[in-house]
Amino acid sequence: MSITTINPSKRAAGASTPSRGGDLVALYPRRERVIAVTGGKGGVGKSTIAVNLAVAYADRGAKTLAVDADFGMADLNLLLGVAPQKNLLDVIGGTRIEDALVSCHGISLLPAANGSYSLESMSDKMRHRAFHAIESLSADFDTLIIDVAAGIGANQTEFAGAAADVVVIVTPEALSLADAYACLKVLFLRQGLRRAYVVPNRVRNKQEGEEVFSRLQSLVSRFLDLELVCLPSVPIDARFNSAAAAGIPVVKAYPDSSAARAIRGIARKLDAVAVPDSRAQATGSFWRELLAMESPEQRKAQK
């Protein structure tokens, strides 16, 4: 294994020692990643996997920011056991983004507002203000995990479409499969997505995970020119619920569980299979793409 030093300016506070293995060097090279976790359907485990994936990357030395892009129903703060004073809506309203960040479990969280804001009423201008605020953090983080809300509206597709890697969560439920397909179709048609990663969640065993993936794969290959890559599946495990109730991610609360191992496996495989070229500038390209989406009028309106 080659030894790679993590850029000290981006090293997460308290994250220099990986939580497992006792090895003081980084377990793999520092890389920039922008990962959107989506799935179309509600309740399939997007937030659960986003939060655990973020903490898994931080445990390996990456300075990680989790963005709660579910503007209607903020969940990440609950899953992480924190009660933020400020959130993304305050940032859109003029609060400094640094003042809205919360540190927890080795990562930073940019929280969303809870319950009071409907997705439909967020204008393009507000959304792009949010993008600009996140952009200002690009020098401070090397891993950005975005929890994208259920649905296929502009907020969801713009966030997901601009990330270098899109991870789609799908469960064995027929509805989840249909919604994951709809989500992929919209990202393919509107955002030019050509490759997506699939995490089968809440599966009873590995074989069920493979079946879920192949059902989605056969739908996609019939209708879309989109490559799907299967990531390790996540078993159904009641510990996700108890960990969530305690505000501690499973990878921290039960690091030796098969659930935690699956999450770490996802982090590893995602790094191993993602195309290096698209990653090299991942953080930058996320923001460049978002900025490119704006019209000159929109840019002017933000000043």
Stretch of 45-53, 138-146, 168-176, 243-251 contacting Mg ion, by CB under 5 A: 45-53
Least distance (Å) from ligand ATP to the CB of residue 158? 17
Which one, of 112, 87, 83, lies nearest residue 97 by Cα?
87
Least distance (Å) from ligand ATP to the CB of residue 43? 4
From the list ligand ATP, Mg ion, none, partner contacted by residue 144 (C-beta under 5 to 8 A by kind): none
From the list ligand ATP, Mg ion, none, partner contacted by residue 240 (C-beta under 5 to 8 A by kind): ligand ATP
DSSP string, 76-135: HHHHTT---S--HHHHHTT--HHHH-EEETTEEEEPPPBSS--GGG--HHHHHHHHHHHH
Stretch of 32-40, 44-52, 96-104, 182-190 contacting Mg ion, by CB under 5 A: 44-52
Write out the E strands in the chain. 33-38, 64-69, 102-104, 107-110, 143-148, 165-170, 195-203, 227-230, 234-235
From the list ligand ATP, Mg ion, none, partner contacted by residue 252 (C-beta under 5 to 8 A by kind): none
Tokens standing for residue 244: 């969530």
Least distance (Å) from ligand ATP to the CB of residue 150? 4
Least distance (Å) from Mg ion to the CB of residue 27? 28
Which one, of 220, 222, 200, lies nearest residue 211 by Cα?
200
Nearer to ligand ATP, 26 or 130 (CB): 130
From the list Mg ion, ligand ATP, none, partner contacted by residue 178 (C-beta under 5 to 8 A by kind): none
Point out the residue whose Cβ comes nearest to Mg ion: 47
Which one, of 150, 171, 140, 181, lies nearest residue 38 by Cα?
150
Helix (H, G, I), strand (E, B) or coil at 198: strand
Task: Quote the CA–CA distance of 71 and 118 in Å, as a whole number.
Answer: 7
Restricted to residues 47-86, the positions that interact with Mg ion (CB under 5 A) are 47, 75
Q: Which residues bind ligand ATP (CB under 6 A)?
A: 42-48, 70, 73, 75, 150, 201-202, 234, 236-237, 240-241, 244
Q: Please measure the distance between the N-terminal and C-terminal CA atoms of the chain and give it in whole angstroms.
A: 49
Q: Which residues bind Mg ion (CB under 5 A)?
A: 46-47, 75
